[in-house]
Amino acid sequence: MKTALTTSPLKAARFILAGEVVAFPTETVYGLGANVFAPEAIAKIFAAKRRPADNPLIAHIADLSQLASLITHLPSAAHKFIDAFFPGPLTLVLPKSAVVPGIATAGLDTVGVRMPRHPTAHAFLEACGVPIVAPSANVSGRPSPTTWQAVRDDLDGFISCILRGEQTKVGLESTVVDCTVDAPVLLRAGAISLEDLRAIVPAIRLRTVDESEAGSPGLKHRHYAPSARVVVVAHPSDAVPTRDAAYIGLEAPSPIQAKTFKRLMMCDSVDEYAHALFRFFRQCDADRVEVIYCQAVEETGIGLALMDRIARAARR
């Protein structure tokens, strides 16, 4: 299959309406989209990504008028989160309506919904005229793509079209909150932080250890992993500089250490660290780096999401 490259949301939408899959930029990471009401198109997402069928997809909407068809009703906490954070990097898990096909949600009776805050994504979703289910546009298990080139590296020849945009702003996937239970549960940390969510709905809670071990659907799968081994360090001096190693963090190693690493990235802020992480992982793989040292940050704000992704990458 030839993969078309375009910067036109309208052209990209035409592929969707023809039952094909399209990669598109959002503020978090690039997504791989299909019409939520087209089970055969959705099957192409799972095939292209080599994604396990028991991992549910997020439905992306252009505006709130598209929400009604996807869900049976809107829980009051979800209403509050929508008022506060839509459009933005937040996915709400809601009670699914019967018209959403089971293949989109791995057979669950809930559906994740998100309204991206990104002009190109918005134009694309509007041109499609239907909600678009989309996981991150990477081969399953690899770091999510934050550039269109990363999408091409993973999926060229396996998808119909890539809608090109800039490197994504946030760099980590959306925050996911289950709103189908009395006290909402944070399923995946992201740029909308736990503190942000708590300010709107104080009852929100983290998953218990039992819930985590039982594995929220999809969360039991390995994610975000480069080929290189990932090691978390508290300080740059804890990293072992070699020609096969890389370092990313807020603080710089000593000048002598710095010269020895094959790749080195210093970030001015935790936001910048989150923005850079997945691209750095992919660059390290391209350079055949064997060990990536990641400096730990405080687990507040987007730091919670950043440490979650680093810990998952380090866990294998």
Picking from 246, 298, 228, 293, the residue whose alpha carbon sits closest to that of residue 269 is 298
Among 6-14, 52-60, 130-138, 153-161, the segment contacting Mg ion (CB under 5 A) = 130-138
Contact between 257 and 239 under an 8 Å Cβ cutoff? The reply is yes
Please identify, using beta-carbon distances, which residue of 150 and 245 lies nearer to ligand TXA. Answer: 150
Letters for 18-47 (x = contact with Mg ion by CB under 5 A, - = none) are ------------------------------
Among 134, 264, 284, 310, binds ligand TXA (CB under 6 A): 134
Residue 5's binding partner out of Mg ion, ligand TXA, none, with CB under 5 to 8 Å set by partner kind: none
d(CA 304, CA 222): 18
Contact between 144 and 222 under an 8 Å Cβ cutoff? The reply is no
The amino acid at residue 82 is I
Picking from 219, 159, 167, 198, the residue whose alpha carbon sits closest to that of residue 81 is 198
Contact between 184 and 46 under an 8 Å Cβ cutoff? The reply is no
Residue 218's binding partner out of ligand TXA, Mg ion, none, with CB under 5 to 8 Å set by partner kind: ligand TXA
Q: According to the binding rule CB under 6 A, does residue 23 interact with ligand TXA?
A: no
d(CA 128, CA 131): 8
Among 136, 175, 180, 193, binds Mg ion (CB under 5 A): 136
d(CA 7, CA 279): 21
Instruction: Specify which residues 109 forms β-bridges with.
Output: none
Among 110-118, 156-164, 255-263, 302-310, the segment contacting ligand TXA (CB under 6 A) = 110-118
Among 43, 84, 201, 219, binds ligand TXA (CB under 6 A): 219
Applying CB under 6 A, which residues contact ligand TXA? 26, 28-29, 31, 55-58, 91, 93, 105, 108, 110-112, 114, 134-136, 173-174, 176, 187-188, 216-219
